[in-house]
Amino acid sequence: MTTEQDFYAAPGDTSQGRVFTVTGQDWDSITQSIGESADERVVVNMGPQHPSTHGVLRLILELEGETVTEARCGIGYLHTGIEKNMEFRSWVQGVTFCTRMDYLSPFFNEATYVLGVERLLDIEDDVPEKAQVMRVLLMELNRISSHLVAIATGGMEIGALTVMTIGFRERELVLDLFELITGLRMNHAFIRPGGVAQDLPPGALDEIRDFVALMKKRLPEYAALCNANPIFKGRLEGVGHLDLAGCMALGLTGPVLRSTGYAWDLRKTQPYCGYEDYDFEVQTWDTADSYGRFRIRLNEMWESLKIVEQCAERLAGLEGAPVMVADKKIAWPSQLAIGSDGMGNSLDHIRHIMGESMEALIHHFKLVTEGFRVPAGQAYVPVESPRGELGAHVVSDGGTRPFRAHFRDPSFTNLQATSVMSEGGMVADVIVAIASIDPVMGGVDR
């Protein structure tokens, strides 16, 4: 009797080589039992569903005892096809897609894409001042909320649970402001080509001022819990070290780069949205380690509060000013008025386009369904996101949809540093290194 040969599963002894049964004893006893002759290393998968990998990130770690000899990243578990999908949507609809990439900093995703579209349309100078100030306001509030998550999750992973609870407590306040201004807590699609979707609602400035006043009382709590805490410093100081030469070689940006003492911040070096008119300082540290990156994020929240205050002052003097370009061939849907229930369009607007003007109805229909045309060309306008340089390379063939939209996401680039920061350290320090990079897998995989 003959048996068919399975070409896909060659026969083999499952117990080839030495077999070790680990029942919970210390790693030292295992390595001692291996003896001098064996130089085998253990390869383990950390993730992709792991509470300390900031999303669906898979780490392949080669260990010798508890020392990491090799660390590699496995990405792609959160691939959404956002860039490809944008090629099949109008220029305005593209905002709805890209806002979902790095879901902790949606306004930055929208801003870099929209700035690229506006450069192609050649309307950068036509965007109203109020729209630019609102963009800066929302981005800086978003920077605060993103850094709060970075510090909260990083603290949770090393056992500082109080840092986690108060971090998310403060983030809720920022999301409440987002909901007040845009109607949504995330995935806003609020920054549009030509301006922003809506004006500030009544009472928004008072809420923003109250938030700033409260945060000035709350931020010192993080400093009190962490800055001089010997346990916290012991876990972070000297861990995930990467000097300036390493950052430059890998193209790293954001707090990872500034922790080496290099004050590279696009808000100062390549200003956009009028950042040159705001008073703030670029925060750096000189330790090039995880502790320095934590301190930078904490200090940057203070600087963001300063910018938010300046935005609130400027917006107070822009009551009733437009928030969208005057060109009616581009200005949709920001010209719509919101209904009294806060949802849908106002009856006045519907009455106008449906009952009074056939031309308005036709124009509205074409603008909504087909969209406006963007002159052929390409543009790249980077912004300083909470994680570093975030840029959209936008390409137009002259049609109503992007020919190509490709994003340079800082999480993707910064994640290269995982192996350099982790190898030679302990398994527990891998968690700290990843937390200090603060990657968001939605931005990595797109």
Comparing 75-84, 136-145, 225-234, 424-433, the range with the smallest average pLDDT is: 225-234
| Residue with the larger pLDDT of the pair 50 and 288 | 288
Res. 329 pLDDT band, cuts 50 70 90: confident
Comparing 11-20, 58-67, 163-172, 258-267, the range with the smallest average pLDDT is: 11-20
H or E element: which one contains 155?
helix 129-157
Question: For residue 136, which of 271, 259, 43 has the smallest C-alpha distance?
Answer: 271
Q: Where are the domains of the chain?
A: 82-332+371-445
H or E element: which one contains 396?
strand 388-396
Task: State pTM to two decimals.
Answer: 0.84
- Asked, as a colleague might, if the bond just before 333 is cis with ω within 30 of 0, I would say yes
CA–CA–CA angle 133, 134, 136 (5° rounding) = 65
pLDDT digit string, tens, across residues 295-320:
899 899 999 999 999 999 998 888 87
> What are the percentages of helix, strand and coil residues in the chain, rounded to 5?
50, 10, 40
Cα dihedral value 215, 207, 341, 315, nearest 10:
-120
| CATH 3.40.50.10490 for domain 82-332+371-445 | no
Averaged over 431-443, what is the pLDDT?
87
In this model, does residue 334 exceed pLDDT 50? Answer: no
In this model, does residue 21 exceed pLDDT 70? Answer: no
User: What's residue 341's pLDDT?
Assistant: 54
In this model, does residue 113 exceed pLDDT 90? Answer: yes
In this model, does residue 112 exceed pLDDT 90? Answer: yes
User: What's residue 363's pLDDT?
Assistant: 75
d(CA 240, CA 294): 12
User: What's residue 189's pLDDT?
Assistant: 86
User: What's residue 340's pLDDT?
Assistant: 54
**What is the sign of the dihedral through the CA atoms of 89, 90, 96 and 99?**
positive
By the 8 A CB rule, do 225 and 250 touch?
no
| Residue with the larger pLDDT of the pair 363 and 28 | 363
Res. 23 pLDDT band, cuts 50 70 90: low
In this model, does residue 3 exceed pLDDT 60? Answer: no
Averaged over 200-227, what is the pLDDT?
87
Looking at the chain, the whole-number percentage of residues with pLDDT higher than 70 is 85
User: What's residue 174's pLDDT?
Assistant: 92
Distances in Å between the alpha carbon of 196 and those of 140, 214, 276, 332, 338?
16, 27, 20, 10, 14
Averaged over 206-224, what is the pLDDT?
89
d(CA 129, CA 195): 9
| Residue with the larger pLDDT of the pair 387 and 350 | 387
Question: For residue 214, which of 182, 255, 166 has the smallest C-alpha distance?
Answer: 166
pLDDT digit string, tens, across residues 222-246:
888 878 888 888 888 888 888 888 8
Looking at the chain, the whole-number percentage of residues with pLDDT higher than 90 is 22
In this model, does residue 412 exceed pLDDT 80? Answer: yes
User: What's residue 5's pLDDT?
Assistant: 60
Token duo for residue 141? 């509030």
Res. 200 pLDDT band, cuts 50 70 90: confident
User: What's residue 386's pLDDT?
Assistant: 92
User: What's residue 35's pLDDT?
Assistant: 54
Provide the mean pLDDT of the chain.
83
Comparing 51-60, 99-108, 116-125, 331-340, the range with the smallest average pLDDT is: 331-340
In this model, does residue 38 exceed pLDDT 50? Answer: no
In this model, does residue 24 exceed pLDDT 60? Answer: no
> What residue type is assigned to position 435 of the chain?
A
